[in-house]
Chain A
Amino acid sequence: GESVGLHLPTLSVQEGDNSIINCAYSNSASDYFIWYKQESGKGPQFIIDIRSNMDKRQGQRVTVLLNKTVKHLSLQIAATQPGDSAVYFCAEAFSGGYNKLIFGAGTRLAVHP
């Protein structure tokens, strides 16, 4: 499910399955990472964030994994529900800056009953 170019990749899953959305970030100096969910007609909604001194962080039904060696971030959603259908964006930032987020192109998650 990595975002490539202008085409929005789609991850299709069955309701109840676990989903994994991947993201490759670009700046090795980035030390703050965040996942957003965007539903049609709405703004990006904060899901979970992680700082570079951690490699895993868990929320409610979501887990973010960070691999700084290969500059890779993933979002795991447990027991995926139809309401999880949306576009998911990862973003990176460098704390020496001003909280400027650099967004990936996004991955569309489609949950089928």
Chain B
Amino acid sequence: DAGVIQSPRHEVTEMGQEVTLRCKPISGHNSLFWYRQTMMRGLELLIYFNNNVPIDDSGMPEDRFSAKMPNASFSTLKIQPSEPRDSAVYFCASTDREGYSNQPQHFGDGTRLSIL
């Protein structure tokens, strides 16, 4: 089975440019998460979707960040305009959540973003 697929794997762009990160969750999973990982702050949850609906976006740093999930098999995280401090590894994870039962989240291999 294919795992969570993220693209691109690496992105280098100049400050002020728009950046779009993409994620395809595991087929059949109904929950999707976007995380950011830095040395300083570790793994931080940015936003959580359940059944394609954003449930918790309290981790989104500021209005420059936005995320969408137009259907069950695709999500995007957009940064506009990008800044050097956005440089990090961005991960997408998915899980199949039933009611209040916790299940393991399965992560993609991330997008390493460098803003010059």
Check if B100 sits within 8 Å of A44, measured CB to CB: no
Q: Measured between C-beta atoms, what is the minimum distance from B75 to chain A in Å?
A: 15
Q: Is the interface of A mostly helix, strand, loop or mixed?
A: loop
Q: Who on chain B is nearest to A92 by CB? A: B102
Query: How many chain B residues have a CB neighbour from A under 8 Å?
Result: 26
* 8 Å CB interface, B41-75 against A: 42-43, 45, 48, 50, 55-56
Interface Cβ pair total, 8 Å cutoff: 55
The answer to whether A89 has its CB under 8 Å from any CB of chain B is yes
Q: How far is the CB of B101 from chain A (nearest CB, A)?
A: 7
Query: Which B-chain residue is minimally distant from A103 (CB atoms)?
Result: B43
Quick one: CB contact mask for A27-42 with B, threshold 8 Å, 1 for yes?
0000110101000011
Instruction: Tell me whether A43 and B100 are in contact (CB under 8 A).
Output: no
| Cross-chain contact of A99 among B40, B43, B103, B106 (Cβ < 8 A) | B103
Indicate if the CB atoms of A105 and B42 lie closer than 8 Å.
Answer: yes
Residues of B within 8 A of A101 (CB): 45, 105
Q: Is B97 an interface residue when CB atoms closer than 8 A count as contact?
A: yes
Verify A98–B50 contact, CB threshold 8 A: yes
Count of chain A residues near B, Cβ 8 A: 25
Contact A46 B48 (CB under 8 A): no
Bound CA–CA A93/B45 (angstroms):
13
**A99 vs B107: C-alpha distance in the bound complex, in angstroms?**
14
- The CB with the most chain A CB atoms within 10 A, among B4, B56, B100, B104, is that of B104
For the complex, give the distance between the alpha carbons of A95 and B108 in Å: 23
Closest beta carbon of chain A to B46's beta carbon, Å = 12
Min distance, Cβ A51 to any Cβ of chain B, angstroms: 8
Bound CA–CA A51/B104 (angstroms): 12
Most buried by A among B55, B93, B107: B107
Q: List 29 A-B contacts (CB under 8 A).
A: A6-B40, A31-B102, A32-B102, A36-B107, A41-B109, A43-B4, A43-B91, A43-B93, A43-B108, A43-B109, A44-B43, A44-B91, A44-B107, A45-B107, A49-B102, A49-B104, A89-B43, A93-B102, A98-B31, A98-B50, A98-B56, A98-B97, A99-B31, A99-B95, A99-B102, A99-B105, A100-B48, A101-B45, A106-B42
